[in-house]
Amino acid sequence: MGSELWTRGAVCPDLWQPFGRKCYILFENRLNWVESLEVCKGYQGSLATVNTEEKQEFISEICNEHFETWIGFNDIDDEGVWKWVSGEDDDFTMWGNVEPNDYDGILSDEHKNSADCAMVTGNQALWADRNCVHGFYRFICEKEMTEKHMRTSKQIYGRNGSPACLKESELADMTLRSSTTVRSRVDCFRLCISIEHCTEFQVRSTSENALTCDVLRSEGEHAQYESGHDGCHMFIIID
């Protein structure tokens, strides 16, 4: 069984960044919190849940400057009781100094005194409560990865029984995008099945901890393969 790989192939849509089992995207257009949430729901998602230190770090990297960005935390239903729209429940918070104070210091007087939605701000992405309707910011959506149906791949061996690989000279014609560095064969597998027309992939060890992944379109002939060179392993996808 060592020659086979399988995966359920959970993937993020193009432009969404994977983190844990979810996908994230920053929208640059400025909407109020309520409208932002509607946009995220349109993608079968919700506004980002930042309920761990690791996610806080990830989100602050996405926001990387002094930008103001909505996240999914709010106390709309019950003043002072903060909840994530995703329904996730954790104690982690990263409020900035004096926040939350149910006060939107940015708005004109008539809207200042109601702040039920959280956004992240500054280079540490500290949280502040702001007015859900009258504040307009960028926003981050999250959604579950898409589970593709179970896929299997089989490794190709040469006549002498050692792992076979594509000849270097054949690579250019079959490759679907430039080589990508991955951590494992399964990562390369997932990349392949997330790309239309990918039917084969090969991994080569480039350094101690990294593999180079080539995602390929099959031309139907297997004559191009030769016995492996330099820890190269080739797999074909079986539906």
Binding site for Ca ion (CB under 5 A): 75, 101-103, 115-116, 128-129
The CB-of-99 to Ca ion minimum distance in angstroms stands at: 5
Q: How far apart are CA 157 and CA 226, in angstroms?
A: 9
The CB-of-49 to Ca ion minimum distance in angstroms stands at: 18
Q: How far apart are CA 92 and CA 111, in angstroms?
A: 28
The residues, any chain, with a CB within 8 Å of residue 128's CB and separated by 6 or more, are 95, 96, 99, 100, 118, 119, 120, 121
Pick 14 or 77: Cβ nearer Ca ion? 77
Contact 228, 200 (CB under 8 A): no
Tokens in use for 209? 């901890």
Pick 107 or 236: Cβ nearer Ca ion? 107
Pick 127 or 201: Cβ nearer Ca ion? 127
Pick 100 or 228: Cβ nearer Ca ion? 100
Residue type at 104?
Answer: D
The CB-of-90 to Ca ion minimum distance in angstroms stands at: 19
Give the phi and the psi of residue 75 in degrees, each rounded to 5: -125, 40
The CB-of-119 to Ca ion minimum distance in angstroms stands at: 9
